[in-house]
């Protein structure tokens, strides 16, 4: 950038020039952002400095170049899983949307893996919400393995693993205190889903603000992803006291905006519940609570409970199946309702025949397959 004053670290306080640059309001280059986030993860910034930096970026408005730089810094320090199976996917929201919904993407992971899709689910404990993926899995009795070699073998053999972010991103611990203290969405929420330790190239990513749809997809494209849907659901009729921002999943509460990476191109489109043959429902219909409450709802869902939570999971699972290449729900830039409904039916089938529940039982047993696991074969 011509005329820009570049960030230059000093031995006395290497992060002070970063804060000085944030204070000017100018955007960071990819390299500058990578350096700044690298300093955070190397322990070279205090909690107060990290909080000031993250809020400075948010108030000014974060840029795609800054997101890419942050992701590069995180990926270069993560403990990665080698040799994931072809076609492995992740389904993950950024969190930070403020709606406190039941855990959708965690439930989707059980459903999609029951259909034979390898799922490398990346998640964390709640930092700006009530129950993150790791929280609800803990309440369900699912042990979270941390050894990368073991996880890699389980993903290749059993098609489903859950990766707790702290186990694979130990350097992120330096930012945890500041993120908890802020309690709001920061750029780290967006970085997390883009730094999957299994280096998946297919992802369904939820973001809480539609402005981030294309930056997220562009970042993943630049990092070599094959197929990505970034989604942001519109919340309508939510009532007083409910945040007006979007929800980080495909929703029944209104239209969902999508930025899709398909065959190297980024496509924008809209998906509505009726396209999938599902009824609309307000966001309050899937309001969650703490880990125990959310775990009970997820278990009931896998045991066959009907309602808006099931429908939301079916809708998101159908989109994940498209991302995994199990159907073609998007053609010529438009959603194909008939194909989307077929994918919804596939997802419903593995809930109703117990295959998705058996994936939870297997995960509880540390990967040992439950005897009743039919793996979505249609039995």
pLDDT average, residue stretch 58-80? 97
Same topology between domain 15-76 and domain 89-362? no
pLDDT of residue 130: 60
C-alpha distances in Å from residue 305, one per residue of 298, 300, 341, 349, 371: 9, 5, 20, 13, 22
pLDDT of residue 378: 35
CATH class for the domain made up of 89-362: alpha beta
Alpha helix positions (H), 252-376: 291-302, 308-323, 337-352, 355-364
Closest to 227 in 3D by CA, of 196, 256, 205: 205
pLDDT average, residue stretch 306-334? 97
Percentage above 70 pLDDT, the chain? 88
- Binding-site residue set for Mg(2+): 105, 248-249
How sure is the predictor about 123, in pLDDT bands with cuts at 50, 70 and 90? confident
pLDDT of residue 295: 95
Burial 265-277 (b: 16+ CB within 10 A, else e): eebeeebbbebbb
Query: What is the CATH number that goes with domain 15-76?
Result: 1.20.970.10
pLDDT of residue 128: 44
Are 120 and 84 within 8 A, CB to CB? Answer: yes
What the block records as the tokens of 294 is 């959310």
Within 10 Å of residue 55's Cβ, how many Cβ atoms? 15
How sure is the predictor about 288, in pLDDT bands with cuts at 50, 70 and 90? confident
Q: Per residue in 321-351, pLDDT tens?
A: 999 999 999 999 999 999 999 999 999 999 9
pLDDT of residue 371: 35
How sure is the predictor about 38, in pLDDT bands with cuts at 50, 70 and 90? very high
Query: Strand, coil or helix: what is 346?
Result: helix
Whole-prediction pTM: 0.89
pLDDT of residue 142: 93
If one compares 373 and 210, the residue with the highest pLDDT of the two is: 210
What the block records as the tokens of 202 is 């297919």
**Picking from 23-37, 44-58, 82-96, 229-243, which range would have the lowest pLDDT averaged per residue?**
229-243
If one compares 239 and 347, the residue with the highest pLDDT of the two is: 347
How sure is the predictor about 12, in pLDDT bands with cuts at 50, 70 and 90? confident
- Binding-site residue set: 93, 96-97, 101, 103-106, 121-129, 133, 179, 248-249
- Binding-site residue set for 5-phospho-alpha-D-ribose 1-diphosphate: 93, 96-97, 101, 103-106, 121-129, 133
If one compares 133 and 128, the residue with the highest pLDDT of the two is: 133
- Binding-site residue set for anthranilate: 93, 124, 179
pLDDT average, residue stretch 210-231? 97
pLDDT of residue 129: 52
pLDDT of 144 above 70? yes
pLDDT average, residue stretch 173-177? 94
pLDDT of 272 above 60? yes
pLDDT of residue 301: 98
pLDDT of residue 239: 54
pLDDT average, residue stretch 44-57? 97
pLDDT of residue 244: 53
Specify the residue for token string 């998906």.
271
**Picking from 1-5, 11-15, 292-296, which range would have the lowest pLDDT averaged per residue?**
1-5
Question: Chain-wide mean pLDDT for the chain?
Answer: 89
pLDDT average, residue stretch 224-248? 79
**Picking from 45-49, 95-99, 165-169, 230-234, which range would have the lowest pLDDT averaged per residue?**
95-99
Closest to 78 in 3D by CA, of 173, 185, 201, 217: 173
pLDDT of 226 above 90? yes
- Highest averaged pLDDT of the listed ranges 7-11, 94-98, 257-261: 257-261
pLDDT of 47 above 80? yes
Instruction: Give residue limits of the domains in the chain.
Output: 15-76, 89-362
pLDDT of residue 141: 94
pLDDT of residue 58: 95
How sure is the predictor about 376, in pLDDT bands with cuts at 50, 70 and 90? very low
């Amino acid at each position: 950038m011509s005329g820009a004053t570049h960030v230059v670290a000093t031995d006395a306080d290497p992060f002070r020039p970063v804060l000085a640059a944030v204070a000017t309001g100018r955007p960071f280059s990819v390299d500058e952002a990578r350096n700044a986030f690298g300093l955070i993860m190397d322990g070279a910034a205090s909690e107060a400095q990290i909080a000031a930096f993250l809020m400075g970026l948010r108030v000014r408005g974060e840029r795609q170049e800054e997101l890419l730089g942050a992701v590069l810094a995180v990926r270069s320090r993560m403990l990665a899983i080698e040799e994931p199976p072809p076609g492995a996917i992740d389904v993950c929201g950024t969190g930070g949307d403020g709606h406190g919904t039941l855990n959708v993407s965690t439930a989707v992971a059980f459903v999609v893996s029951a259909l034979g899709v390898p799922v490398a689910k990346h998640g964390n404990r709640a930092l700006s919400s009530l129950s993150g993926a790791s929280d609800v899995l803990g309440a369900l009795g699912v042990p979270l393995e941390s050894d990368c070699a073991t996880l890699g073998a389980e993903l290749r053999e059993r098609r489903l693993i859950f990766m707790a972010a702290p186990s694979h991103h130990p350097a992120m611990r330096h930012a945890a205190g500041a993120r908890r203290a802020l309690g709001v969405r920061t750029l780290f929420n967006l970085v997390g889903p883009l730094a999957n330790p299994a280096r998946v190239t297919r992802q369904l990513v939820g973001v809480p603000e539609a402005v981030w749809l294309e930056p997220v997809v562009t970042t993943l494209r630049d990092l070599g992803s094959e197929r990505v849907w970034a989604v942001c659901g519109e919340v309508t009729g939510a009532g007083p006291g409910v945040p007006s921002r979007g929800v980080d999943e495909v929703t029944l509460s209104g239209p969902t905006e999508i930025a899709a990476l398909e065959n190297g191109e980024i496509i924008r489109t809209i998906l509505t519940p009726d396209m999938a043959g599902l009824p609309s429902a307000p966001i309050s219909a899937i309001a969650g609570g703490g880990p125990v409450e959310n775990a009970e709802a997820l278990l009931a869902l896998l045991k066959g409970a009907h309602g808006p939570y099931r429908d939301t999971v079916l809708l998101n699972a159908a989109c994940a199946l498209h991302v995994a290449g199990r159907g073609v729900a998007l053609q010529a830039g438009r959603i194909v309702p008939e194909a989307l409904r077929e994918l919804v039916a596939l997802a419903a089938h593995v809930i109703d025949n117990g295959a998705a529940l058996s994936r939870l039982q297997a995960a509880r047993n540390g990967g040992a397959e439950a005897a009743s696991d039919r793996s979505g074969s249609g039995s």
